[in-house]
Chains A and B, each alone.
Chain A
Amino acid sequence: MAATNEQGLLQIATIIEQHQSLPGAMLPILHAIQDDLSFIPSNALPLIAKALNVSKAEVHGVISFYHHFRSEKPGTHVIEVCRGESCQAMGSRALEQNIKQRLAIDYHQTSKDRQYTLEPVYCLGNCACSPAMRIGDDIHGELDQQKFEQILESLNTYSLELK
């Protein structure tokens, strides 16, 4: 698990303070931390545990239970490819293989240049226009290899040129 610096810890302390009085504050706190820092740093755990009056192990247990939460800093772009049945019916099995090859990473991995992290997702509710993927808050549909390339290009023309 990766840690964060002083600045990050300050942000975390603020988030905890803002949310800790909510009933069932754990998930709202974890979401807010990940939204701000892109992951949940290891040194956030004691702070959360203390604020919510639970053990550090319990916080860790919650983080590891949910696919969405991550303990390592991801690449600049997190690409979530849908593995659901509707997308399978429209060719996502071949597409995901192509994407893995194209980015030279498997699921749960980050590319060497730290541009991309690849994650599986099980349905984005875009099943009338499968196959689908999510990057940030954008959902893309009716994907094929060509459209995937275009999206990659639009994401980060500059860094692709450097390669």
Chain B
Amino acid sequence: MNHSPSADSSMPLAARKIYVSLDTTARSKGSDNIATQVDKILSSQPDLAATLVRNGSRGMFWLEPLLEINTAKGRVAYGPVTPKDVSDIINQQCFDDVVEHPLCLGFTEELPWFKSQQRLTFARVGIIDPIDVDDYISHGGFVGLTNALAKTPQQLVDEVKDSGLRGRGGAAFPTGIKWQTVLDEPEQQKYIVCNADEGDSGTFADRMLMEGDPLVLVEGMIIAGLSVGANQGYIYLRSEYPQAQHILNQAIKNAKAAGYLGENICGSEHSFHLEVRLGAGAYICGEETSLLESLEGKRGLVRAKPPLPAIEGLFGQPTVVNNVISLASVPYILSHGGASYRDFGMGRSRGTLPIQLAGNIAQGGLVELAFGITLNELLQQYGNGCKSKRAMRSVQVGGPLGAYLPAEQWHTALDYEEFASIGAVLGHGGIVAFDDTVDMAAQARFAMEFCEVESCGKCTPCRIGSVRGVEVIDKIISTDNDEQQRQDSVNLLHDLCDTMEFGSLCAMGGMTPFPVRSALKYFPDDFLPQPSTEKAQ
């Protein structure tokens, strides 16, 4: 963490380390091949006396595969690296300082993109060996738990309330209040369920955290257990994340061996058991009651509320359901105090949000910042515009149920209430950029199609409305209709959206109108019948 130049710059040989990420996206860009190459060099040149560490990703994905070397002055980054660059980078000198090399980017933590972030929840992601309990502890891990063990459940819940933390899964419900409800239920079997279904397109913060620092999630879940009196936790992980599954299971095993999970954790009278369960490719299972049905082994049909899961949740027992990032923010709150977390942010959005820049963006990745930064700053300063180098035209924030926003709305600050005031949602913090070749009628149509594919089928407005929605949009853009017919179809689409919004049991049907209506509102020309070849102009 320390990147200020030290007086004595020689590095003890034992501390020589080379970092190559095992994060899914880093791997998709070839980091495994880089790691293989590093291994080869280190075994053929034992005098280098360095070890290879597979870490999470720093989240600067346009620079992956990133290779980092720790020097006495801090970690030095090289990227994006190809296998044939590796032998050129690694030598006796590279452990001393920044060197002259075309791929050398300087000290990782001095890179402006990284340095300007406020990484509280992601403090260790991309830094430590994700499954090494000692590495976790040496970077401040389990301090929150140690503090928690000295507090009463009510004190713990109060600390979380004090932090102002609101659920990061999308609905932004205050976490402390949810926990209070579970704590207030009489003593009985209670559960902590981590929602790791991360179904929203354009989001990957949960994945990066589970791959890069799974122990912070484990710690957060143990603290949640202590807070409400639950001794069993489940992580409901989407099956699309095989690497996260692999890493989580190893981390849980290691935490157990070190006495942090199981009976009498850390020598206390408390127990906490934790298990990863896999979803099976159903977006709706991210909705908390559908998720609970799925965990119970059933079809993921959404349950009517009440009863709240906090009162009758998993197997009918009081259950905390929280998103990965919500739970992973708790150790910081317990180690630094709720007030310290609350000091970040604006209005009623306290703390930080791990923002994900995705889609057609030059510098895609993870940016953790206090609430309050504007979309524009994110898209330009961090994202650096479109990857295609074309003009950016539209961004979708908050996943497939989030609104599409045109440039005139990008001055909006990332804040739950600010977004609500323009008819948009922040959701899980995913931002997907589109350039000027996008066909917004096609995007609106897809929103309906997605709802059709992923609807749990329980209510008619969602199940049937989405099918009708696709048909109506097809009619609107069809060149076979006259203007009157087209206008009728547009009106029909609005009626349909009303029916879905007000007649659906959950946000799947209830919010599908968001992307549809915003596309229609801000990009009406795209819905005019026109030969599709002219769209880009």
Query: Which residues of A come within 8 Å of B, CB atoms?
Result: 23-28, 30-31, 52, 61-62, 65-69, 84-90, 93, 121-130, 132, 134, 137-142
Contacts and interface: CB of A to CB of B under 8 A. Distances in A.
Contacts of B387: 90
B204 interface: yes
A70 to B, nearest CB: 10
Please tell me the size bucket of the interface on B: 35 or more
Contacts, number: 152
Nearest to B207: A125
B220 interface: no
B195 interface: no
Pick the most buried of A127, A128, A132: most chain B CB atoms within 10 A of its CB: A128
B297 A125 contact: no
A121 B450 CA distance: 11
Given A26-B298, A122-B400, 8 more contacts: A27-B278, A61-B299, A69-B280, A84-B201, A85-B446, A86-B358, A123-B202, A123-B240
B359 interface: yes
A23 to B, nearest CB: 7
A128 B357 contact: yes
A31 B276 CA distance: 13
Given A84-B400, A85-B400, A25 B297 contact: yes
B433 A89 contact: yes
Contact of A67 (B62, B200, B280): B280
Pick the most buried of B28, B281, B300, B360: most chain A CB atoms within 10 A of its CB: B28
Nearest to B57: A128
A8 B241 CA distance: 27
B29 interface: yes
Nearest to A90: B360
Contacts of A88: 443, 446
B179 interface: no
B489 interface: no
A137 B364 contact: no
A26 B297 contact: yes
A123 B297 contact: no
A31 B199 CA distance: 19
A89 B432 contact: yes
A132 B240 CA distance: 12
A126 B359 contact: no
B297 A122 contact: no
Contacts of B242: 137
Contacts of A89: 358-360, 432-435, 438
Contacts of A31: 239, 278, 280
A131 to B, nearest CB: 10
A122 B454 contact: yes
B430 interface: yes
A16 to B, nearest CB: 13
A128 B203 CA distance: 9
Contacts of B432: 85-86, 89, 127
Nearest to B295: A24
Given A26-B297, A68-B280, A84-B400, A123 B200 contact: yes
A129 B242 CA distance: 17
B494 interface: no
A122 B201 contact: yes
A85 B443 contact: yes
B27 interface: yes
Interface string B306-343: 00000000010000000000000000000000000000
Pick the most buried of B239, B357, B433, B438: most chain A CB atoms within 10 A of its CB: B239
A112 B174 CA distance: 53
Given A24-B297, A68-B280, A129 B203 contact: no
Contact of A65 (B61, B296, B299, B315): B299
Interface in B336-379: 356-361, 364-366
B195 to A, nearest CB: 14
A142 B358 CA distance: 12
B204 A128 contact: yes
B277 A28 contact: yes
Contacts of B241: 125
Contact of B315 (A23, A68, A121, A141): A23
B118 interface: no
A30 B280 contact: yes
B473 interface: no
A122 B280 contact: no
Interface in B36-56: none
Pick the most buried of A24, A26, A125, A126: most chain B CB atoms within 10 A of its CB: A125
A139 B24 contact: yes
Given A28-B277, A66-B282, A90-B360, A126 B298 contact: no
Contacts of A132: 28
A28 B443 CA distance: 35
Pick the most buried of B206, B297, B434, B450: most chain A CB atoms within 10 A of its CB: B297
A128 B25 contact: yes
B455 to A, nearest CB: 11
Nearest to B394: A89
B213 interface: no
B358 A62 contact: no
B294 interface: yes
Pick the most buried of A30, A85, A130, A134: most chain B CB atoms within 10 A of its CB: A85
Contacts of A87: 201
Contacts of B416: none
Contacts of A125: 24-25, 198, 203-204, 206-207, 240-241
Contacts of B175: none
A23 B191 CA distance: 12
B519 to A, nearest CB: 12
Contact of B280 (A66, A90, A126, A134): A66
Nearest to B433: A89
Given A25-B297, A27-B297, A123 B280 contact: no
